Structure 1
Amino acid sequence: MAVDAVGADIASLILRVSVGGTLVAHGWNHAFGGGRIAGTAGWFESMGLRPGRLHALMATGTELGAGVLLLLGLLTPLAAAGAVGTMAVAFVTAHLRNGFFIFRPGQGYEYVVMIILVACGLGALGGGAVSLDRALGIADDLAGWTGLAVTALAGGVGAALLLAVYWRPGDRPQDAA
């Protein structure tokens, strides 16, 4: 049975708005909520991501940028890759050691894995009918296996490179004492 094109377009719109809006909210919170960039930088440093300010700025920019692109449906697989990369880094640095469930102390990884998988699905679905990708005539080129490959590879490789170059979990300030 073939997937109804209208249904796929509706699913893409719902996923783009939910994931894009969530990313914008997280990026906004890093920049303007609570501890702002300085607080986010300190948190990142405590997890072994150094320099913390650089990573706070990169995470904030990625969440805001990828979120807005998803909301617009512009370069959807690349925007989804931003979600995959950011959440993959969060998975490894902040959530993996806490188990699956988000309600566990320290928050488990179920949330970030769900965002990763939904973003990969969104990369495969593409921006849909209500997107700038469609308006620009590039939606069909950026969907299906190509979209999934762009999303998973760009997000996964980006996260792996960042972790390989910058993450030093044994070199946390609280471990120095």
Structure 2
Amino acid sequence: MDTGLMLLRVVTGLLIAAHGVQKVSPWLGGRGLDAGTEEFRRDGFRGGTVTAVLAGATQIGSGLLLAAGLVTPLAVAGAVGVMTVAVSVKWPHGLWVQNDGYEYPLVLVIAAAALAFTGPGEWALDEVAGLTPWPAWSALAAVTLGLGSGLLARLVLSSGRPGREDHGSRSWRHR
């Protein structure tokens, strides 16, 4: 079981962190901060650069913490929060990623939430530091905080514009 939890934790965390790196830099196939800023504006967010930096930093930080299994409830709250925003952006396109849908961020939300409820496993820094087991309520609190903060961020940072004008023209193949 610990091997499965480690694999889930490391892959999910590193994918979330890498997605954040792409938002703010040209590394890992990213297009840099200017492109990340423009993407947030097209998606109907205010704050452009600040929004991109905060989202990228949250993804990098929570992803790395999740991968390491360190302060897992905090890592889950950050990962669920930022990926909830991604789900909300992609929601109008439907479920499937082929249509720029929310399938991928939803999988990351569910994987992070599952780790909150199972714990990070014995091969995690939480275990080494003596932080586990986390109290039973911490999983529910982490997931609830993540969902709530993600939806609140979407509401507060929304520019009031409907979002991208070219919903149908951008697909996963053109990224």
**Taking structure 1 as the reference length, what is the TM-score of the superposition?**
0.84
**1:14 aligned partner:** 7
Percent identity over the alignment is: 30
Query: Which one of 104, 119, 122 corresponds to residue 115 of structure 2?
Result: 122
Query: Which one of 48, 54, 59 corresponds to residue 52 of structure 1?
Result: 48
Contact map agreement 1:125 1:147 (CA 8 A) in 2 = no
Query: Is 1:149 paired with 2:145?
Result: no
Letter in 1 for 2:118: L
Q: Give the distance between the partners of 2:79 and 2:153, measured in 1 at CA.
A: 14
The 1:74–1:46 alpha-carbon spacing in structure 2 relative to 1, beyond 3 Å, is same
CA deviation string 1:137-172 (max 9, x = no partner): 111025xx4242132112011112212211134265
Letter in 1 for 2:15: T
Query: Is 1:167 paired with 2:158?
Result: yes
Letter in 2 for 1:155: G
Query: Is 1:71 paired with 2:67?
Result: yes
**1:4 aligned partner:** none
Query: Is 1:108 paired with 2:104?
Result: no
Q: Give the distance between the partners of 1:80 and 1:141, measured in 2 at CA.
A: 13
Q: Give the distance between the partners of 2:128 and 2:164, measured in 1 at CA.
A: 49
Contact map agreement 1:22 1:67 (CA 8 A) in 2 = yes
Q: Give the distance between the partners of 1:46 and 1:149, measured in 2 at CA.
A: 33
Q: Secondary structure at the match of 1:62?
A: helix
Letter in 2 for 1:97: P
Q: Give the distance between the partners of 2:163 and 2:123, measured in 1 at CA.
A: 45
- Post-superposition offset of 1:60: 0.7
Contact map agreement 1:126 1:147 (CA 8 A) in 2 = no
Letter in 1 for 2:158: W
Query: Which one of 71, 80, 85 corresponds to residue 81 of structure 2?
Result: 85
The 1:111–1:169 alpha-carbon spacing in structure 2 relative to 1, beyond 3 Å, is farther
Contact map agreement 1:102 1:109 (CA 8 A) in 2 = yes
Letter in 2 for 1:152: V
The 1:171–1:152 alpha-carbon spacing in structure 2 relative to 1, beyond 3 Å, is same
The 1:100–1:11 alpha-carbon spacing in structure 2 relative to 1, beyond 3 Å, is same
Q: Secondary structure at the match of 1:17?
A: helix
Ranges in structure 1 where 5+ consecutive residues have no aligned partner: 1-6
The 1:11–1:151 alpha-carbon spacing in structure 2 relative to 1, beyond 3 Å, is farther
**2:171 aligned partner:** none
CA deviation string 1:108-130 (max 9, x = no partner): 11111111111100111112111
Q: Give the distance between the partners of 2:49 and 2:70, measured in 1 at CA.
A: 28
- CA RMSD between the two structures: 1.9
Contact map agreement 1:100 1:110 (CA 8 A) in 2 = yes
**Taking structure 2 as the reference length, what is the TM-score of the superposition?**
0.85
